[in-house]
Amino acid sequence: MSQSYEVIFENNRKWVESKVANNPTFFEDLAKTQNPDYLYIGCSDSRVTAEELMGTQPGEVFVTRNIANVVNTLDMSSTAVIQYAVEHLKVKHIIVCGHYNCGGVKAAMTPQDMGLLNPWLRTIRDVYRLHQAELDAIEDEDRRYDRLVELNVQEQCINVIKMACVQERYILEEYPVVHGWVFDLRTGKIIDLDIDFEKILKDIQKIYNLISSDWIMTRKTK
């Protein structure tokens, strides 16, 4: 094995020792169950790790990551994670977190055949199409790139809100709430895009409402 690979196991040993030193039953407690308040949907970029940038501990954040933090309802992986988090883990907050200098977003801006990545990047290119007038008006290429990162996060938040499991539980419990963040690699700070979750939910329900009034009455009387 390479030296860098072996270092991982040494780091793990030190991590275990530090956890047990502070709390002898840490791993015994950790193994019992998980009860996270947060679902984090982020980018697979190696520089953007959810728990570290959020300052959270094991068991506090349920995480799924993919190229450019895309939520595509045809992707069984991300939709299964969201449904499990909403219906079984009962998370209170769903966070879609993008980051500046995102390679996936930049690839989507590049007029080039990316092979197997083409269908995945098409979701981001659709974001560009929806906001083309605003983006094309930004002369500075880096700023345009940053803005597409932000708009991509907002559109993926909308894709989360479209899901029936999210709408159903929010109607009954007023959770989960969906948030859009951007992590700035240049400063280390998280930027809250302050998406208006309730307004977006109300607007999209005119088209994506999957819940009948009879269903609502039945569930609320149980």
Residue 94 has φ and ψ, to the nearest 5°, of -115, 120
On whether the CB atoms of residues 108 and 128 are closer than 8 A, the answer is: yes
Round to whole Å and give the CA distance between 166 and 157.
Answer: 11
Q: Provide the annotated active-site residues.
A: 43, 45, 47, 99, 102
Closest to 151 measured CA to CA, from 69, 73, 50, 39? 69
Closest to 91 measured CA to CA, from 183, 195, 166, 194? 166
Round to whole Å and give the CA distance between 98 and 121.
Answer: 15
Round to whole Å and give the CA distance between 38 and 196.
Answer: 18
Classify strands 38-43 and 93-99 as parallel, antiparallel or unpaired.
Answer: parallel
